[in-house]
Structure 1
Amino acid sequence: MDGYLLGILWGCCTPHHNRLLCRHKDKYYPDYVASQLGGHVRTQMSRTGIQYTVNIPIEFEELYKFGWTLRNNDVRVYPKTDDDKGFCSAWIELHHSADLGRRKDGTRHPRLRIYGNYVLMESIESKISIIANVGQKSILRLHNEKSAEIYYQSYNEITRIRDVFVRNPHISEKIGLILSL
């Protein structure tokens, strides 16, 4: 199982009737999962709009071998994989926000925020730093103590992270737009 697939399974899949359900507003992720593991992508309406889902024909024991845990567990560990770049790619795409921050002097700058479980983010931050050759960042714990976020505020670092990790053309375009402002 490649790291990108594991990143999607870690990032947007939940148990549903003894199966795993992948759902997302961007069809790109359910399509990728279905192409790798089988299943049929369906469209459904959620309270926030259209989303795409696929029931994945995979046993939980298969995922447990990689260290998978439920998305809301207090501790989520980094998976057992040799494909760190793939895993981080999917995680960054699924769990980021890109916008413009404002400095004290009023100037605006691009900002990339990556978020997730604190324990998982410790591993992801070090992998991003090594693979993309960007500076190490502090991991900011959120008020619930189990979630955390990492901020990248350098144009060059955000560009490097996008160029090294981002596969989804919609995400690449969105980050590129922020960088162009």
Structure 2
Amino acid sequence: MNDYILGIIFSIGYISRGRLIFKNKNKYFLEQIQKVCGNNIYEQKDKNNIQYVLSTKYFNIEKLKSIGWNNRSSDVRKLPELNQYSDFLRAYIELHSRFDYSTRYRNKRKKIKYKALRLRIYGNKVLIKDINKILNMDANTTLKSPQNEKNNKTSCISYTSINEIKSIFQYIEKRPYFNSFWEEIESKLRMPIIV
């Protein structure tokens, strides 16, 4: 098992009846897990949407817990201790980030608006705090002030500097990766500003 697959396990895995369960609308992530454990992937309807599910007893849950893994709904979730985080964060960011455009002002007095690209990374607030530090050290981003959600468990960090966004993706860019996600990155970086 590599750090990329570990990133998927930390991102979407949870325990049910002694089995590790993975669900996602993108079959690709479950196929990565399947390469390790060999279990079948099946489809499940969820509110008229199809999602893919893989259930396995292959992974030693106690061993995963010993490196910091816990259920997605846990109050506190930390990153595992790894030598480097680029592969792990590639999986995590592919699963728990979003691109959108935020409104900004060229000239506040004249109220000239434009829209600029923004990357947001979501997750448990302890995990996001750790990711913030790693991206600061390894991808040369500035430390962000996470925005906490009302549930006080989850938060989000936002990157609006095109240079920082590029730096993050240069840091995590390797294979394997989820093609659709990286195609969206390339497309959005070609048009980082909408006037």
Question: Letter of the aligned partner of 1:152 in structure 2?
Answer: Y
Question: Letter of the aligned partner of 1:25 in structure 2?
Answer: K
The structure with the larger Rg is 2
Tell me which stretches of 4 or more aligned residues in structure 1 moved more than 4 Å.
none
* Deviation readout 1:142-164 (Å, 9 max, x if unpaired): 22222111000011221222233
1:172 correspondence with 2:182: yes
* Deviation readout 1:104-154 (Å, 9 max, x if unpaired): 331110000001111111111111222222222222222222211100001
Matches for 1:24-173 after TM superposition, within 5 Å? 24-56=24-56, 57-104=58-105, 105-166=112-173, 167-173=177-183
Q: Which moved more, 1:106-115 or 1:2-11?
A: 2-11
Long gaps (5+) in structure 1: none
Say whether the 8 Å CA contact 2:122–2:154 is kept in structure 1.
yes
Question: Letter of the aligned partner of 1:118 in structure 2?
Answer: K
CA RMSD of aligned residues (A): 1.7
Structure 2 residue matching 1:5: 3-state secondary structure: helix
Question: Letter of the aligned partner of 1:29 in structure 2?
Answer: F
Say whether the 8 Å CA contact 2:14–2:70 is kept in structure 1.
no
1:48 offset after TM fit, Å? 4.7
Relative to the length of structure 1, the TM-score reads 0.91
Paired with 1:47 and 1:163, the residues of 2 have a C-alpha distance of: 36
Say whether the 8 Å CA contact 1:43–1:53 is kept in structure 2.
yes
Percent of aligned pairs with the same residue?
Answer: 32
Relative to the length of structure 2, the TM-score reads 0.85
Paired with 2:82 and 2:170, the residues of 1 have a C-alpha distance of: 22
Aligned length: 181
The answer for the alignment partner of 2:109 in structure 1 is none
